Amino acid sequence: MSAKTIERLDGIGPLAERYQVFLLDQFGVLHDGQAPYPGAVEALSALKRAGKTVVLISNSGKRARPNEVRLLKLGFAAGSWDHFVSSGEVAWRSFNDMAASGKLRSGTKCLLISRDNDRTAIEGLPFVLAEAGEDAELVLISASEGDRYDLDHYRELLAPAAARQVPCFCTNPDRIMLTAVGPRFGAGEIADLYESLGGSVIRVGKPYPAIFDAALALAGEPERGSVVCVGDSIEHDIAGGNGVGVATALVLGGILADTPDLAAVFDEQQAWPDYVTGSFSLR
């Protein structure tokens, strides 16, 4: 794929006129983890009023329901999206299927890397929590606490598991996360660390096809030309949308807010959006 003409938009109004199905990222597009971005609540509701199919598609290691509850608490209107697909949900369903078929042994010791001791990523699965890398039979990286710890903390925790080639799953491939104290390393960076320590990682989420396949299935397998993927990450949202053959729109309110040379980032990632807009709003 090569560079293409990118249309600059003032908000998402033109997209609503051109597309029927919206695959929307949440962090960096709808909210910053603390509050909605200006105009985002109204823009999301407006898409539903216009009869659009809205699927929220997120590299969150949490399952779909906790993510939806948070959106409601942040002030987004109930019913302003049709489906929520998180990488954590896709992974949970995969593990659940493996357990049902006998491929995942009951009592498997799982070293869970999450935030705030959150265990929802494995609730209902036949895992036993491992306390340390020495005991783990499986590693699940669902979130980062890069705003509290440095990478050495994770290196110490993970090195024994990586040395024993314990399989690792990362359900949030984002390398950067937005926090109250600014951008910090995300779960994807911890997955990279695990590989550097000699382990191997299966990543679940954008830009990999499985999460897009799940979202498009929930949307009723629409014609690709009627779909637009909206996100703030070139590496995950734009590359992922490019990969499944749908239009893409880059929102500059998130991790790329202060990037001086977007073209260089597009070229580096070998991914180019169809549209660029300053915000997910109607203005």
Please tell me the pTM assigned to this model.
0.88
Mean pLDDT, rounded, of the chain:
94
Q: Flag whether pLDDT at 2 surpasses 60.
A: no
For the segment 143-172, the average pLDDT, to the nearest whole number, is 96
d(CA 150, CA 19): 42
- Looking at residue 253, what is its pLDDT? 78
d(CA 74, CA 196): 37
d(CA 140, CA 254): 26
**In this structure, what are the phi and psi dihedrals at residue 131, rounded to the nearest 5 degrees?**
-85, -25
Domain boundary assignment for the chain: 5-86+206-275, 104-201
- Looking at residue 1, what is its pLDDT? 45
Q: Flag whether pLDDT at 102 surpasses 90.
A: yes
d(CA 56, CA 50): 17
For the segment 116-130, the average pLDDT, to the nearest whole number, is 94
Q: What is the CATH number of domain 5-86+206-275?
A: 3.40.50.1000
Model confidence pLDDT, tens digit, residues 236-255: 999 999 999 999 999 997 67
The CATH fold assigned to 104-201 is Rossmann fold (3.40.50)
The reply to whether 5-86+206-275 and 104-201 are identical in fold is yes
- Structure token pair of residue 257: 């807010």
> What are all long-range contacts of 3-7, with beta carbons under 8 Å and residues at least 24 apart?
3/263, 3/266, 3/267, 3/272, 4/272, 4/274, 6/272, 6/273, 6/274, 6/275, 6/276, 7/274, 7/275, 7/276
